[in-house]
Structure 1
Amino acid sequence: MKKNIFYFGTLLLFSAALWSCSEDSDNNLEEDLSLVQLMEVKANALTDAVVNISESKGFEIITVDDDASLKSGDDSRYAMSITLNDIRGIYDYKKGVTEQQGTTKYGYLRVFDKVDDSDSFILRLPKEKAMHPWKLYVDEDAEYVNDFVITTNEYNYTYSGGMQFDYLLKSEIDIQDEKAGELFVDWSISENQNFEYASTFTFVDDYSVGVEFGLGEMFSYEFNLMKGDGILFREEVEITKSDDTDKRELKYSLELGNIKIIWNSESENYMVYRNDEFQEGAKIQITHNYESDDANVAFCRKGRDIKITFEDGTSIQLSELLSEGTLVLMDEIFSSMHDMKFVKHIVDKVAREVYYTNLANSNVD
């Protein structure tokens, strides 16, 4: 209730400022807000974004759960190389194929038939199957409609064994003739075991969520939630090792709109910036939750919390600025973005099916 009263008061302040400004005034209404008031406004904008995302079809896709039967022995990478050229075409899910039709000469299950040519890799399958990937190869009596469409315009899966791996995916998803969003994944492991991973899901209302991880000369991660090109939330960590010592330098930053909190192990001081201007007198306290399942102990993964005490003695807890349940949803969103069950158990699995089917057909010809 206290938060709602403050937010209403902030809106009144914006309205009063608006009426007092001339038409040609370019004053930024946010300039009249104190730092704590501005943080409240930005936290409300983040909460609104997370709630909107959680009610979208795109949220269902990136957080799709899998059955226990998919969790054991299915995380292995397959030694093969598949590009978009190998799998181009439109493929429909077909119910009730015979046992002979449903298996390629390579022993791979097949439930999709190519129905037309395309420059893209297009899968059309029932939503009921897409939202429950473990049912994809389970024959059922129910009648389904192929109302879930995945259009992949970029695809590369290259793995020859060992550590080296290269992966690229760019797909658009439509559900029941309505666009649900766009998905991008770029993942590579080099011969010297350097690791880079990035994924982004863009929703139909211009929100997007993304994660990035890197491991090499520097360890880094980033979580972000955007509205167009505008930052609603971003959290970053960089850990670098000095060339001549075992000393490591850690840089941490968290952005909430145009407010940025940074920390550097060299200075060991947290600093708060507003529109890139240092804010005097703000003191930061960090609490860690080492029971978090995320080794990066990020705020958005519930691994840390931030308390800010301002020059006038007032203080806020960052987690408490967000509406109840927002942080739980953020954790679910960001954890899903680097464990894409939808990609692994639908797109990649069917790509292998199509690849083997095409290979079998080409050998027959």
Structure 2
Amino acid sequence: EKSVYNPPDPIASSSIWGDCWLISVQGLDGCAETFVVAASAGNTTNSGFCSWDFDTHEVKGIQLEVGATNSAGSTISKARQWWYKPCGPLIISTCSSQNGMKIFDIRDGKQVMRWEFEKPVVAMEYSSPLQWRDKGKVVVAEAESISLWDVNSLSTQPLVYVPFDGKKISALHVNNTDAELEGGVRRRVSSSEAEGNDGVFCTTDSINILDFRQPSGVGLKIPKDCSVNVDSVFSRGDSVYLGYTRSTRVKLKQPLIQQFSLRKQGLFCTYAFPAKHDAEPADAISQIWVNSDIVMGVCGVGLYVFDALNDDALRVPNNVQYHKNKVRRYKEFYRASFDYMGSHALLISRDKPAMWKHVTI
């Protein structure tokens, strides 16, 4: 029998939930507890999060931002892109065009911290501007900079501040070394994998590798074709993966994932989705995930899997590799995302039921 977790407030209907997590942490009584957490994601009038005890279904914490004011009565931005990101017992939240960030405890719903920024939080189509580096540090993408904050400090100043001179940031990915050990595509990144590669962000003309050991916060900058608009990005080890469907210079026939080598500081391989007459905005690659064996990407026409160990792709520079496995294809997905674990993929679309599929290469 399926489990149903209901919020206590009628405003917190299922329509505001855009993401959910299963989180195991130390409870307030010191014993290990598992929580179900649901939160808003993306465009929504009302937003918030709610946490439940996994076993008893009891509501442990809830926070709602309703209409133009939040539950405390203060005015919020008219912007409707909201983000919530948990790590351990804490969950951070912000909204595009706001100049601040809040941190709540999922175990009781109480706000534990709030920071103000000089610039408003940037809005990106498929990347969250708010991401954990580890359980003690958070990365925030502001309008003209990226900053690293210590959640255990009372200081109102960031640890690292990375300006990008008015250039628009289109995608951000941060490696989290304290994520869940078995968290699917959100699983923990080892410290050795993240050394010198804390994450990556893309601007109009460059791919920027974050290295917070450096005073500048950027360890490497790779030039990028200015005509290409990156929708999503992922980094793993020596490689960065960019997903895009649009170019102001040429008409693209299909969505593409490009793999860049950090050692060679250039394009290494291209993974091509099925060709169409013209790639449309709805075909945008909304999520990329990579392990040692496969490259996965989802767009408006489905989730596709590529063989990362293909000898030809590894041997020939700039080689184009075509899709090997179509997990599922509908006429169109709306802002699709996926999870993957143990050869099984969970494909999620906001306008269709989620579905499991066994993946073979």
Provide TM-score, normalisation by structure 1: 0.30
Q: Write 1 or 2 for the structure with the bigger share of strand.
A: 2
Q: Write 1 or 2 for the structure with the bigger share of helix.
A: 1
Give 1 or 2 for the bigger CA radius of gyration: 1
Specify which structure has the bigger relative contact order, considering alpha-carbon pairs within 8 angstroms and separated by 6 or more residues.
Answer: 1
Provide TM-score, normalisation by structure 2: 0.30
